[in-house]
């Protein structure tokens, strides 16, 4: 006799599991703990099998019968419903493993060791906010150029055009990673060239007027913050490396007797050499007494970590400088590039080499760490001496024949 909803609701558990039979192999298994499981008994090649159809009351009698009938239809077509379910589950797991979000997170972890931690966190936050909610669960092989464009336009339409371009770059890099690891065949992003207008570029603020540079150096000289941050402020203009390279500098990379600093530039994937002016060597020897026992030249509050990436900019603001319109830690590079060329008449290729830029091959000066070394050593000392004169308030008249 077929089951009824009333019979199922009123059925009580017993000391041992027992069955309430319906029709065509369907039954309800009642367990001593009160749980009620739908089961379907069937045969394939003469072997008896059971298929779970869920629990009651989540799956009611009507739904259980519908699932039974679907399974019996498969059996009539020569398909084992239990094997079909396993195959469907495996397909879902494969699609999940090849979803854009899974592959993108894998790519970010792969990339993490070669970029700044702050850069990693910003990229992850951008993807979690603007990309994953819309296409994260999609199989990466199914994602089309119009689908990516819809995501980018959603970002652009809220006025975040720069973010849209960053997201496009990161999506493209993820696709290229998927191609390299055999999980995609092409990157749809090149199809979107020009679809989102280019953002207006804004150079990071910098001070390039010699008189104002002198004022800044005097302000640094009077800085009342920690000795470590003050040393960073004093050294930064005289080495004009990227801010992250300076704050993460390790004592092991310095040879103060040779007046050299060698380190690996993550951005260009090259080893860089910074000749140190005598003023920088003196400052570093003084700082060594305080931090030389540790790994980092400029440690943070936790001596096992470098100082914060915000420390130099925070110090500049404390000195009264607007880091949005006047000067940032990165601005020391533009300061050096501009004044070394326009006021001290140094050769552009020598300056660019010292900035660790990939100089155009058309000049025959593609970067290597020792090229122009003699000229760069002279230039770095000339630059440090020039800054000292600006700080002292002297009128500096550059010699036009002093190009290195």
Q: Read off the pLDDT of residues 22-69 as tens digits, 9 standing for 90 and up.
A: 999 999 999 999 999 999 999 888 888 998 999 999 999 999 999 999
pLDDT tens, residue by residue, 44-54: 888 889 989 99
Question: How far is the C-alpha of 377 from the C-alpha of 215, rounded, in Å?
Answer: 26
Mean pLDDT of the chain: 88
- On whether the CB atoms of residues 271 and 370 are closer than 8 A, the answer is no
Nearest CA to 173 out of 150, 198, 140, 128 is that of 140
The vertex-107 CA angle with 106 and 109, nearest 5°, equals: 65
β-pair type (254-255, 47-56): unpaired
Could you confirm whether 242 is annotated as catalytic? yes
The torsion angles phi and psi of 325, rounded to 5 degrees, stand at -125, -15
CATH 1.10.150.130 residue ranges of the chain are 100-192
Nearest CA to 399 out of 350, 351, 343, 349 is that of 343
SS3 346: coil
CATH 3.30.160.390 residue ranges of the chain are 5-88
Per-residue pLDDT for 258 more than 90? yes
Could you confirm whether 400 is annotated as catalytic? no
Among candidate residues 63, 212, 262, 357, the one labeled active-site is 357
More confident: 318 or 96: 318
Among candidate residues 154, 267, 317, 345, the one labeled active-site is 267
Could you confirm whether 288 is annotated as catalytic? no
Confidence of residue 124 (pLDDT cuts 50, 70, 90): very high
Confidence of residue 363 (pLDDT cuts 50, 70, 90): very low
What is the fold of 210-392?
hpI Integrase; Chain A (1.10.443)
CA dihedral 136, 137, 138, 144 (to 10 degrees): -10
Give mean pLDDT, residues 207-230: 94
More confident: 50 or 369: 50
E strands, 45-146, are 47-56
Could you confirm whether 112 is annotated as catalytic? no
Give mean pLDDT, residues 99-125: 87
Question: How far is the C-alpha of 126 from the C-alpha of 163, rounded, in Å?
Answer: 8
Superfamily of domain 5-88: Integrase, DNA-binding domain (3.30.160.390)
Give mean pLDDT, residues 157-165: 90
Could you confirm whether 330 is annotated as catalytic? yes
pLDDT of the residue at 395: 59
CB hemisphere CA count around 380 (13 angstroms) = 29
pLDDT of the residue at 358: 62
Could you confirm whether 110 is annotated as catalytic? no
Among candidate residues 18, 120, 162, 367, the one labeled active-site is 367
Nearest-10 crossing angle of helices 373-392, 278-291: 80
Among candidate residues 166, 230, 242, 248, the one labeled active-site is 242
CATH number listed for the domain at residues 100-192: 1.10.150.130
CATH 1.10.443.10 residue ranges of the chain are 210-392
Among candidate residues 36, 333, 377, 391, the one labeled active-site is 333
């Amino acid at each position: 006799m077929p089951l009824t909803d009333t019979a199922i609701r009123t059925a009580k558990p017993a000391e041992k599991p027992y069955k309430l039979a319906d029709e065509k192999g369907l039954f309800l298994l009642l367990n001593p703990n009160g749980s009620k499981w739908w089961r379907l008994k069937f045969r394939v090649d003469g072997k008896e099998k059971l298929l779970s159809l869920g629990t009651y009351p989540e799956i009611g009698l009507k739904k259980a019968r519908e699932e039974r009938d679907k399974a019996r239809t498969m059996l009539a077509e020569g398909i084992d419903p239990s094997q079909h379910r396993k195959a469907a589950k495996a397909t879902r797991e494969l699609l999940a493993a090849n979803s854009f979000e899974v592959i993108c997170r894998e790519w970010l972890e792969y990339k993490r060791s070669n970029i700044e931690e702050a850069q990693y966190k910003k990229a992850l936050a951008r993807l979690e906010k603007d990309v994953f909610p819309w296409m994260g669960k999609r199989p990466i092989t199914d994602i089309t150029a119009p689908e990516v464009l819809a995501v980018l336009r959603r970002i652009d339409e809220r006025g975040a055009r720069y973010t849209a371009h960053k997201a496009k770059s990161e999506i493209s890099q993820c696709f290229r990673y998927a191609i390299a690891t055999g999980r995609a065949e092409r990157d749809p992003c090149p199809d979107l060239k020009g679809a989102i207008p280019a953002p207006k570029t804004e150079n990071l603020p910098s001070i390039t007027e010699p008189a104002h540079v002198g004022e800044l150096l005097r302000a640094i000289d009077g800085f009342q913050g920690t000795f470590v941050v003050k040393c960073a402020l004093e050294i930064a203009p005289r080495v004009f490396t990227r801010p992250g390279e300076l704050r993460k500098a390790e004592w092991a990379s310095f040879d103060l007797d040779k007046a050299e600093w060698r380190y690996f530039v993550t951005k260009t994937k090259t080893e860089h050499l910074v000749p140190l002016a005598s003023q920088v060597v003196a400052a570093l020897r003084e700082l060594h007494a305080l931090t030389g026992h540790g790994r980092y030249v400029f440690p943070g509050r936790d001596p096992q970590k470098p100082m914060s990436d915000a420390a130099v900019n925070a110090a500049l603001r404390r000195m009264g400088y607007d880091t949005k319109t006047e000067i940032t830690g990165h601005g020391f590079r533009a300061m050096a590039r501009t004044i070394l060329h326009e006021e001290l008449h140094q050769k552009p290729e020598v300056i660019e080499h010292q900035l660790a830029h990939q100089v155009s091959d058309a000049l025959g000066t593609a970067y290597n760490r020792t090229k122009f070394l003699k000229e760069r050593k002279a230039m770095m000392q000339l630059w440090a001496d020039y800054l000292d004169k600006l700080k002292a308030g002297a009128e500096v008249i550059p010699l036009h024949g002093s190009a290195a």
